Chains A and B, each alone.
Chain A
Amino acid sequence: MNMPPRKLLQIEKLVLHFKTSHGVVQAVDSVNFELDTNRAVVILGESGCGKSSLAKAMLRLLPRNVDKYGGSVYLNGEDVMMYDEDEFRRNVRWVGMSLVPQAAMNSLNPVIRVGDQVAEPAMVHLGIRKTEAMTLVRRMFQHVGVPEDFISRYPFELSGGMRQRVALAMALVTSPSLILLDEPTSALDLLTQANIMNVLKRIKHELGTSFILITHDIATSSELADEVAVMYAGQIVEVGHAKDFFPAPLHPYAQMLMASVPRLRSESDPMFITGQPPSLIDLPEGCRFAARCPFRFEKCNEEPPMLGKNGRKVKCWLYE
C-alpha cells in the first residue's frame, strides 16, 4: 500500500491504549509523523498528554496492561512493528534507535563503574570485545564532554550533569541513527541544561544523529528543534518546521501554550490556559481542546482532520 518511505522514520497511526481499573487510557491515539536523517523533532506537550507513552510505543517498551497497540513505525523504510520480539530487540533497540529515559542520570547502576555501564550495550548489541568497547566508550565520552578518567568512576562520584552525559554516551555508543530523549534537561540546573543542549547540538553536527526530544519546556526545546510536533490529549495537533512554529503557532492550544511562556527578553505579559486537559479515559467527542478553546464553534463537535497549510499541518477546523 505504501511506497517504501525514504525517510529515516515514519510513524503511521500509532496507537497505545492502557487498561486500568477506571477504564481504557487512550495515551497515544493515532499519531503520525516523520523525520529525516540528521534532524531533530521536538514533541511538546504537558504532563499527561501521552508524550512519554509515545516514546514507549516507538521502542515497544510496554507495560503489562496494554489494551491496544498498533500502527506502523518505519525505520529506514522497514516496518519494525512487524518484527517479533527477538528481531525487534536485535535490530531496533540500541542499534536503530536508543532511548535516554526521563531522569536518566538517576537510572545508572550505582555499583558498576560508568565506563563498564556504557560499554555493555556496545558489547551486547555490536558483539565486540570489552577492549574494543572501551575504546568506543572513550570516544563517546569525548563527544559528550566527559573527562576520560571518569571512565572508572562510580555514578555517585559524578555530578548530575556529568551523569546525564554518561547516559547520553550510553545511548550513543551503539551508533544508532535516532535517539529518543525523554525530558533530558528537566531535573538539571540552568547552566548544566545549557551545557547538555550544547552537547546535543554538537553530536547532531558531528555524528549526524537524529533526535526526538520529548519535553514540556518550550524555551529549551527551541535550542535543538528543526521540527516541532505539539501533542494534546494523546494526539498530535500541530506539526511544522521550527522556523515557522516558534514565531507563530497555528493551533489555538499551541498559541496559548506559547503565550504562557515567561520570556526574559520581552515585556509581554504571559497568559495562562484556563481549565484542564480532558482525562484520557473519558475523552470528549470532537476536538479534544474545544472545551478550553476561545475560538470554538459548532464544527468543533466533530473531530477535525489534520489540515495542511503551507507545508504545516494543524488539527483544527479554523484552518479548513
Chain B
Amino acid sequence: MITETREAFMDQVKVNEPEALLTIQGLHVWYELRRFGFGHAGYVKAVDGVSFELAEGETVAVVGESGCGKSSLMKTILGLNIPTSGDVLFDGDSLSGLKGDGLRNYRFKIGYVQQDPYGALPPFMTVQKILEEPLIISGVKDKEQRMARIHKVMGEVKMHPAEDFLPKFPHMLSGGQQQRVVIARAMLREPKLIVADEPVSMLDASVRVEILKLMRALQEAHGLSVIYITHDLSTVKYFSRRIFVMYAGTLIEKAETRRVLENPLHPYTTALLAATSDPDARNADTFKEVPPGEPPSLVNPPKGCRFHPRCAKAIAGLCDEKEPVEFEPESDHFVACWLYRS
C-alpha cells in the first residue's frame, strides 16, 4: 500500500517537472599525461566539474575560447570520450553503463554537425554514399527505404532536387552546400539532440546566416534539443535560449541568452562581450579593453578562481585561495564568482 502511494507520488513529481533530455552531473574529463610513454605526469583537466540539464526541445550555446574544454565536453556528450568521473544521462541512458551495441545506439540518437564541413565529409565518397552509410550501419537493409529517408533529409536541408546533388563529390559543392550535407547526415537517424560545433565559423558571412536559419528551422520543426558550441557571441541570440560560458574547464555563467547579453555578471563574460565588435567605423578610434594574459594551462590551473590572475576585480585572499561556488544573484542566472557572494 505504502509503496503504491509512493510510486504514484513519484509519477506526480515526474509530470510536474520539465523532462530533462540530457543531464550532466559533476562531469570531469581528464586526460592522463605520461612521461616517456609511461610514468604518470599529471592530468589535463579538460572538463573539471560541469553540471547542467537540457530539456527536450531546448537550445543552449556553450561559449568559450579554444582550449577551454568545450570540445572535450562535446565529445563526451557524443559518447566519444569516457568521463573520468561524473555521468551523462541522456534520454534515460546513463553513458557510464553503456558498452558495445548500447553505446552505438546511444550515438545514433545524437546528431553531430562538425566545424569544418570539407574536413568532415570523406572526399572519395559521393553525397549519396555519405548519407547512405550511416543508415546501412544502423541496420536499414532496404535500399528503397534508405533512399526515401535520404530524399527526405535532403529536402529538409533545402537541397532540392536531391538528384542533382547525390552523385556529386564534396569538392564539387560550395561551402554552404557542404555544410547542408553535414547537417543532413546529422539528421538522418532522427536524433533528439544535435551537437553543433562552430557550425558556421568556416563559412562566408553571406552564407553563415543562411545555415543558422536552416538549423533554427529544423530545430523548431522537429523540436530538437541543440547544443551550439561557439566563440562568436553575436550569433548566439539568433539561435539559443540559454548561454553557458566556459572557462578553463568549468562553466562560469549560466543564464538565458538575453540576460547574459544585457547584464553579464562574470568579469570574463563582460570581457568577451566587450571584445565582440559590431561593424561600426567608430571602432577604429578606440582601443578595446582586453584582460591581460592568456587562458591558463589545464594541467595546472591557478588556485582558487581560474580567472583571478587576469581579473581586474579579483579579491585578494579570496579569489586566489578558494574556488568560487555557484551563486544565483538573480533568479535563473548562475555565476561562479566571489563578487556575488551574499
B235 touches A159 (CB 8 A): no
Cβ B175 vs Cβ A47 within 8 A: yes
B277 contacts partner chain A, Cβ-Cβ < 8 Å: yes
Nearest A residue to B273 by beta-carbon distance?
A: A264
Q: Is the CB of A194 within 8 A of B284?
A: no
Interface residues on chain A, number (Cβ under 8 Å) = 50
Q: A47-B204, A222-B279, A272-B206 are in contact. Are A262 and B234 (CB under 8 A)?
A: yes
- Check B284–A201 contact: CB distance below 8 A: yes
Chain A residues with Cβ under 8 A from B212's Cβ? 262
Query: In whole angstroms, what is the CA distance A223 to B283 when docked?
Result: 5
Cβ distance A192 to chain B, nearest Cβ, rounded Å: 8
| Chain A residues whose C-beta falls within 8 Å of the C-beta of B261 in the assembled complex | 264
Q: Are A216 and B273 in contact (CB under 8 A)?
A: no
Most buried by A among B207, B271, B279: B279
Q: Are B233 and A246 in contact (CB under 8 A)?
A: no
Complex contact B205–A46 (CB within 8 A): yes
Q: How far is the CA of A243 from the CA of B273 in the complex (A)?
A: 23
List residues of chain B with CB within 8 A of the CB of A243.
281
Which residues of chain B have C-beta atoms less than 8 A from A260's C-beta?
205-206, 208-209
In the complex, the answer to whether A190 meets B231 with C-beta atoms within 8 Å is: yes
Q: Identify which of B65, B206, B237, B272 contacts A46 (C-beta below 8 A).
A: B206
Residues of A within 8 A of B210 (CB): 272
Which residues of chain A come closer than 8 Å to B171, judged between CB atoms?
Answer: none
Which residues on B sit within 8 Å (CB–CB) of A256?
206
B-side contacts of A246, CB under 8 Å: 279-281
Q: Given A159-B294, A262-B234, A262-B235, do A216 and B205 touch, yes or no (CB 8 Å)?
A: yes
Residue B291 CB within 8 A of the other chain = yes
Which residue of chain B is the closest to A265 with respect to CB atoms?
Answer: B278
C-alpha gap A80/B176 in the complex (Å): 40
- Tell me the minimal C-beta distance from A121 to chain B in angstroms: 27
Alpha-carbon distance between A197 and B233 when the two chains are bound, in angstroms: 18
Chain B residues within 8 Å of A47, by CB: 175, 204
Tell me whether B124 is interfacial, beta carbon within 8 Å.
no
Alpha-carbon distance between A253 and B92 when the two chains are bound, in angstroms: 50
Q: Are A266 and B278 in contact (CB under 8 A)?
A: yes
Task: Please give 18 more A-B residue pairs, beta carbons under 8 A apart, in addition to A191-B275, A241-B281, A256-B206.
Answer: A46-B205, A47-B204, A160-B66, A189-B65, A190-B272, A192-B65, A194-B277, A194-B288, A201-B287, A216-B204, A219-B234, A223-B284, A226-B284, A260-B206, A261-B234, A262-B232, A264-B278, A266-B278
Binding site for B on A (CB under 8 A): 40, 46-47, 159-161, 189-195, 197-198, 201-202, 216-226, 241-243, 245-247, 256-258, 260-266, 269-273, 276
- 17 A-B pairs with CB atoms under 8 Å apart are A40-B284, A46-B204, A46-B205, A47-B175, A191-B65, A191-B291, A193-B275, A194-B277, A197-B288, A218-B205, A222-B284, A223-B283, A245-B281, A260-B209, A262-B208, A263-B279, A272-B206
